[in-house]
Amino acid sequence: MSQDLIANLEALLAKGGDSATLRLALASRYLEAGDALAAVRHAQGAVRIDAEYSAGWKALGKALVAAGKTAEAQQSYERGIEVAERRGDRQAANEMRVFVKRLARDAAAQQKTKGD
């Protein structure tokens, strides 16, 4: 089912229907399917099309975490927080703040493990 949806969304993209929402949908579906790199590519496309799309920044952060690129994910979330606050989207800003705190907590735990 997921692969069928991905194929349909990719077909829309191939027909020239590129948009931030289509890219977000592709990023979400690829992430669900376990293809973090494809998710990153499409989430990057979403924010390239609309840099004021807070959902795109949140999706990019999630995809980057899944791809093991935590430093880039943190930057994405921080940019998303700025965008969300500017647009008055407090819920998205708060969610991304939680994600940033989790990344910091996980990094601290890894440092502690390395030090033991």
Q: What is the pTM of this model?
A: 0.91
Residues with Cβ within 8 Å of 66's Cβ and at least 6 positions away in sequence, in order, are 31, 36, 39
CATH number of the domain that residue 72 is part of: 1.25.40.10
Helix (H) or strand (E) holding 15: none
* Amino acid 107: pLDDT: 85
Q: What is the mean pLDDT of residues 57-69?
A: 97
For residues 37-65, give the mean pLDDT.
97
C-beta pairs of 12-15 under 8 Å, 24+ apart in sequence: none
Residues spanned by the domain of 54 = 2-115
The pLDDT, as a whole number, for residue 108 is 86
Residue 116 pLDDT class (50, 70, 90 cuts): low
- Count up the domains in the chain and report the number: 1
List, for residues 86-114, the tens digit of each pLDDT value: 999 999 999 999 999 999 998 888 887 77
Distance of CA 87 to the CA centre of its chain: 18
